[in-house]
C-alpha cells in the first residue's frame, strides 16, 4: 500500500506548502568567479577566421596619466560608487564571463524559433522567408541544422574576437581601473587581465551582431541586451569608455568577417525546391531501391534541408571522407533484427527508457541537441573557472565539430535516403514525433558523439561521462521509436570521426 502511504504523505506535505510555489529557475545557476588563469599568451593562439590577431586595427590607447584617461576613470569611479538596483542586477547577471550568458541567450533564441511551419488551409506549406522574416511562419525555423550553424558562427567569432582582444591587451597592458584608482568599486574578483580593449565589449557586440543576423526579429531585444551589457562594464568597474570603444570596433569588424563566411557557406541553398528534392530522392531509389517518404498529414513536399550536407565544413576536408557505408537493406536479417527490437521496445517500454527518450528529445520548441551540448559545456566551463577566452575556445571547437557533424549527418541522410521505422514497420506507433528527414544516420547520435569527442579533449577527466551521455542520446532515439539501432550506432562512430578533425586543429592552436 505504498501508493496510499505516498498519497497521505503528499497530502500533508502539500498542505504545508499550500500557498507557496517556489520560483522556478529561468537562468543557468552561476555568478561571477575568479578565473583559474588569464592566458597571457592568448593573443598568440591561432584564430579560426582571422589570418593574424591584429587584422582588425584599433587605436593606441591614451596613457594612464593622460587627462583623457583620467576623465574616463573619474566617470567609472562615479558610476561604481552609486549603482542603482537595476544596475546592480545587470552587473550580477552579466558576470565577468558574459560569453556564458550570450550562449544562454542564443539557446533561448533557438528554443523560441524552433517551431516547424504548419500547413496552410489548402494543405500546402509555406516556408519561412529570410527576406521577409516577419511574414508567417516567422524566420527562422531554428531546427538542429540551423541552430548548430548559428552557434558555430557565434562561438567562432567570439573566439577570434577574444584572441584579437588578448593580443592588444598584452601589447598595451592597460591596467584595470581599480589599479589606477582605488576609489573604483569593482564588482568582480580582480585579475591581472589588461583592460584595453574590453573583452566584454567584444563579446557583447559580436553576439549582438551574429545573433541579429541569425534571428532578425530579435534585433530590438538583442540591441537592448547588448546596450545593457556594455553599460554594465562600467557599472562593474571593469572598463573605461575607450576600452569599450576599442572592444566595440573589434566586435563589429569580427562579426562582419564571420557573417561574410556565413553568407557564402551554402546554407541559402540547403532548403531545396521540390524538383531538386525529388531528384535527390530518385537518385537514392535508383541506387539502393528504397526511399524515405514524409508521412505527415498533409504530406510535406520537401524534407528538412536536403542540401545541408553541401554546406561548407569547418575542419573536415570533404564530406565524402566521413560518410559511412550503406545501412542494411530493408528486409535483410540485419534490418529485421533492429526493426524487431523497435517493436519489442514499443511493446515493453520501461520507465527508464521513456525517461531517457524524453530527456534527450530536444525536439520542436527546444534548444535542439546542439543546444543541449552547449549547456553541458557551460557547466564544465564554470566548474573549471575558465576565463572568457578559454570559454570561447571550448564553444568554438565544440560548435565547429557539432556543425561539421550535422553537415556530415545530413549528407548521409539524403545520400542514402533511408526510410524511418514508421514507414517500414506497418502500424508502428511512437512516443515522439518522427522528424521530417531520412533516418540513417541519427542526428542526435552524430551531434552528440561529435560534441562528446571535443569535450573529452578539453575536459579529459570527464571523458567517460561525455561518452556515456552520447551513447544515451543515441539510444534515446531507439527508445523513442524513430531510429533503428544501426542509425544510432553508425551515427556515434560517424560523429567521432568528424570531431577528430576539429580536435586536431584545437591541439595545434597554441593554447595547450
Partner 1 sequence: MRKCFTKFILLLGALIIQIEVQAQTPVDAIMMKKREFCVAAAYDHGSWDHYWEGRYLRTNGNIGTLTRTTVMPMVAFGLWDRVNLLASLPYVATRSSGGQLAGVSGLQDLSLFVKATVYEREFGSAKGSVLAVGGFSRPVSNYLSDYQPYSLGLGTTEWNARAIAQYRLGMGLYVRGSVAYLHRGNTRAERDYYYANGSYYTNLMDVPNAWTYQGALGIWLINEDLKLEATYTSQRSMSGDDIRAYNAPQPTNRVDIDQLGGSIQYYPPFVKGFGVFANTSQIVNGRNMGKFINFGVGATYQFSL
| Pairwise CA distance, residues 387 & 158, whole Å | 13
Q: Are 208 and 230 in contact (CB under 8 A)?
A: no
- Closest distance of CB 311 from partner 1, Å: 26
The least distance separating partner 1 from the CB of residue 19, rounded to whole angstroms, comes to 8
48 vs 356, which CB is nearer to partner 1? 356
107 versus 240: smaller Cβ distance to partner 1: 107
Separation CA 298–CA 170 (nearest Å)? 60
As measured in angstroms, the least distance from the Cβ of 124 to partner 1 is 13
Cβ proximity to partner 1, 14 vs 82, nearer residue: 14
Q: Minimum CB separation from partner 1 for residue 225, in Å?
A: 13
Find, among 411, 408, 403, 413, the residue nearest to 454 by Cα. Answer: 403
Q: Which of 246, 249, 248, 242 is nearest to 64 (CA)?
A: 242
If the CB atoms of residues 25 and 333 are measured against partner 1, the closer one turns out to be 25
Closer residue to partner 1, CB minimum distance, 196 or 376: 376
CB 258 within 8 A of CB 210: yes
Q: Strand pairing partners for 119?
A: 125
> Which of 56, 402 has the CB closer to partner 1?
402
* Residue located via cell numbers 586543429: 505
Question: Residue 297 CB, nearest distance to partner 1 (Å)?
Answer: 3
Phi-psi region of 301 (alpha: psi -120 to 50; beta: other; left: phi over 0): alpha
Residue 359: all three cell numbers together: 530527456
> Which among 404, 393, 408 has a CA at the least distance from the CA of 508?
393
Shortest approach of partner 1 to residue 229 CB, angstroms? 18
- Least separation in angstroms between CB 14 and partner 1: 5
Closest CA to 168 of 55, 252, 34: 55
Output the smallest distance, CB 11 to partner 1, in A. Answer: 6
| Exposed e or buried b per residue across 114-148, where buried means at least 16 C-beta atoms within 10 angstroms of its C-beta | bbbeeeeeeeebeebeeeebeeebbbbbbbbbbbb
Toward partner 1, which CB reaches closer, 298 or 331?
298
Q: Between residues 325 and 426, which has the closer beta carbon with respect to partner 1?
A: 426
Distance CA 368, CA 114 (A): 8
User: In this complex, which beta carbon is closest to partner 1, that of residue 14 or of residue 84?
Assistant: 14
Q: How far is the CB of 417 from partner 1 (least distance, A)?
A: 19
Q: Which residue has the cell 550536407?
A: 309
3-state SS class at 171: helix
Residues binding partner 1 (CB under 8 A):
3, 7, 10-11, 14-15, 17-19, 21, 24-29, 104, 107-108, 111-112, 115-119, 136-137, 295-298, 346, 351, 354-355, 358-359, 361-362, 364-367, 372, 375, 422, 428-434, 481
Amino acid at each position: 500500500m505504498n501508493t496510499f502511504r505516498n498519497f497521505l504523505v503528499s497530502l500533508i506535505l502539500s498542505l504545508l506548502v499550500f500557498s507557496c510555489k517556489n520560483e522556478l529557475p529561468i537562468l543557468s545557476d552561476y555568478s561571477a568567479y575568479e578565473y583559474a588563469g588569464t592566458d597571457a599568451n592568448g593573443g598568440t593562439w591561432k584564430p579560426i577566421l582571422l589570418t593574424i590577431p591584429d587584422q582588425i586595427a584599433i587605436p593606441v590607447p591614451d596613457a594612464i596619466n593622460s587627462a583623457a584617461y583620467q576623465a574616463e576613470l573619474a566617470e567609472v569611479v562615479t558610476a561604481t560608487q552609486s549603482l542603482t538596483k537595476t544596475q546592480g542586477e545587470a552587473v550580477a547577471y552579466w558576470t565577468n564571463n558574459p560569453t556564458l550568458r550570450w550562449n544562454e541567450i542564443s539557446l533561448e533564441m533557438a528554443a523560441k524559433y524552433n517551431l516547424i511551419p504548419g500547413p496552410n488551409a489548402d494543405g500546402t506549406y509555406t516556408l519561412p522567408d529570410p527576406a521577409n522574416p516577419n511574414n508567417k511562419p516567422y524566420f527562422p525555423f531554428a531546427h538542429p541544422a540551423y541552430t548548430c550553424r548559428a552557434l558555430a558562427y557565434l562561438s567562432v567569432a567570439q573566439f577570434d574576437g577574444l584572441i584579437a582582444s588578448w593580443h592588444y591587451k598584452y601589447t598595451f597592458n592597460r591596467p584595470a581601473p581599480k589599479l589606477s584608482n582605488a576609489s573604483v568599486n569593482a564588482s568582480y574578483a580582480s585579475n591581472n587581465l589588461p583592460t584595453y580593449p574590453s573583452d566584454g565589449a567584444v563579446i557583447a557586440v559580436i553576439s549582438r551582431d551574429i545573433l541579429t543576423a541569425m534571428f532578425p526579429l530579435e534585433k530590438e531585444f538583442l540591441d537592448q541586451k547588448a546596450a545593457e551589457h556594455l553599460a554594465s562594464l562600467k557599472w562593474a568597474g571593469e572598463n573605461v569608455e575607450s576600452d569599450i570603444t576599442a572592444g566595440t570596433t573589434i566586435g563589429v569588424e569580427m562579426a562582419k568577417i564571420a557573417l561574410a563566411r556565413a553568407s557564402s557557406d551554402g546554407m541559402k541553398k540547403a532548403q531545396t525546391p521540390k524538383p531538386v528534392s525529388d531528384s535527390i530522392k530518385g537518385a537514392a531509389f535508383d541506387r539502393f531501391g528504397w526511399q524515405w517518404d514524409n508521412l505527415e498529414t498533409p504530406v510535406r513536399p520537401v524534407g528538412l534541408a536536403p542540401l545541408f550536407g553541401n554546406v561548407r565544413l569547418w575542419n573536415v576536408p570533404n564530406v565524402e571522407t566521413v560518410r559511412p557505408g550503406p545501412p542494411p537493406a530493408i528486409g535483410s536479417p540485419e534490418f529485421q533484427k533492429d526493426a524487431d527490437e523497435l517493436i519489442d521496445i514499443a511493446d515493453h517500454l520501461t520507465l527508464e527508457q521513456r525517461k531517457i527518450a524524453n530527456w534527450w528529445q530536444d525536439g520542436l520548441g527546444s534548444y535542439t541537441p546542439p543546444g543541449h551540448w552547449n549547456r553541458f559545456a557551460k557547466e564544465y566551463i564554470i566548474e573549471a573557472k575558465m576565463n572568457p577566452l578559454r570559454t570561447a575556445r571550448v564553444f568554438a571547437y565544440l560548435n565547429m565539430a557539432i556543425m561539421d557533424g550535422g553537415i556530415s549527418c545530413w549528407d548521409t541522410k539524403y545520400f542514402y535516403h533511408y526510410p524511418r521505422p514508421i514507414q517500414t514497420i506497418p502500424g508502428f506507433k511512437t512516443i515522439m514525433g518522427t522528424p521530417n528527414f531520412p533516418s540513417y544516420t541519427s542526428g542526435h547520435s552524430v551531434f552528440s558523439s561529435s560534441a562528446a569527442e571535443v569535450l573529452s579533449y578539453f575536459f579529459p577527466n570527464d571523458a567517460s561521462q561525455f561518452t556515456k551521455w552520447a551513447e544515451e542520446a543515441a539510444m534515446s532515439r531507439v527508445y523513442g521509436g524513430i531510429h533503428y539501432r544501426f542509425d544510432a550506432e553508425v551515427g556515434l562512430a560517424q560523429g567521432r570521426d568528424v570531431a577528430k578533425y576539429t580536435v586536431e586543429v584545437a591541439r595545434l592552436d597554441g593554447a595547450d
